[in-house]
Amino acid sequence: MPCLTCWWPPAPRTPRQKTSKEVVNSIFTPIFLKSNPINPEIVNRRSNAVTVRRQIVIIKSIRHRIRSGVKNLTSVLLNISAFVRPMAWRNMASFLSFWKFRNTSQQRRTGEVKLGTHTIQSHGTTLAWNHCYDWLILLLLAVIEVVVYVTGPFHRFVGKDMMTDLKYPMKDNTVPVWSVPMYAVLLPIAIFLLFYIRRKDVYDLHHGILGLLFAVLITAVITDSIKNAVGRPRPDFFYRCFPDGKDLYDVWGGVVCHGEHGVIKEGHKSFPSGHTSWSFAGLGFLSLYLSGKLKVFDRRGHVAKLCIVFFPLLVASLIGVSRVNDYWHHWQDVFAGGVLGLAVAAFCYRQFFPPPYDDEGWGPYAYFQALKESSANTDTFHETNVQNVQAAEIEIVNQQAGQHDVAAFYFNRNLSPTLDEMELGKR
């Protein structure tokens, strides 16, 4: 279909009003030409002036087009930045989170992290309150131990023929009874306090003390319960029963003791050894604790660490040997007491701590759980900050883009009449 507007005649141009200078030139120019013939130099000068004007118009038009191109390029770049900046923040946030996880994992593989942030003042009360039922059970175990200790043992039948192995002399304890809680309970607690002073980790201190007390009290209840149930005579039972050395038997061949009641009662508590079970419970727990703290099983081959770990077990073994040498126990009693105490200590230790050969064996489970919760809260806070920053950046970019669009609108509106006039040759 042919274009109808192309054949439409153009609108007539309104004649421009001449200035006073142009009027004067129109009057005097013919007179000047009549009096003076046409000078070629003047004609060439006028043609050159017209050419210069046309060049100025072309240059202004090119400058305007360049400005409009720069404006369009700027708007394009702003629009691209509106999308790129949030992506950059998002990538930066993901990179920081990855770097944070990488550093944390490396620190956990190499050693302790964030020590000194969980102290008695900051987390002690909350931690003790969370384990209030455990402490109540400890009190209950202590009461049960007192009741079982006071309860008399079973008086096993002891005949005349059995007295051959029960005529060892009575001796005092090489290791007094009052010293057992000192080295089996207070000494490990003192070492726990030293580690707390160095690391400021209340989880380690609390769970170390709680696990140790559980190990010792459970061992004590089991040991005394078996003592009362078995009622095995001690190696020095003959002189407990007959202090003067004159034995007396009934018609069935059983002993008729005439010694002190308390001494005879204690003579029926041979199996298992209480000293040995308490020693291996307390010092065995300490040995496991030290093996985790010193990272004995870190595959580096430092045998000196094993010497430190084996020392508490050596002390417990020597205490068990002293019980045989004092003729208070048979060797079977000592062996059973050692196995019992060490087994209970291992179970109680594993209740609160990872295995000593684990990479995280240097700290309790509760400590690493607290780290995970703290890390999760930090990551959540970080993601929230990143989202807020992204939203703020997008809003700023949108405001800047709006300002540029408004400025471009007013610039184009002010420039369009000038451009039209330049194209029409009016300027």
Closest by Cα among 280, 310, 278, 315 to 294: 310
As given in the structure block, the two tokens for residue 30 are 């013919």
194 exposed, middle or buried (CB, 10 Å; 0-12, 13-18, 19+)?
Answer: exposed
362 exposed, middle or buried (CB, 10 Å; 0-12, 13-18, 19+)?
Answer: buried
Calculate ∠ Cα 397-382-374, nearest 5°.
175
Radius of gyration of the chain (CA): 50
Q: Where are the alpha helices (DSSP H) in 111-124?
A: none
**For residue 228, is it left (φ>0), alpha (ψ between -120 and 50) or beta?**
alpha
By annotation, the residues acting in catalysis are 275, 329
Coil, strand or helix: which one is 249?
A: strand
Per the document, the length of the chain is 427
81 exposed, middle or buried (CB, 10 Å; 0-12, 13-18, 19+)?
Answer: middle
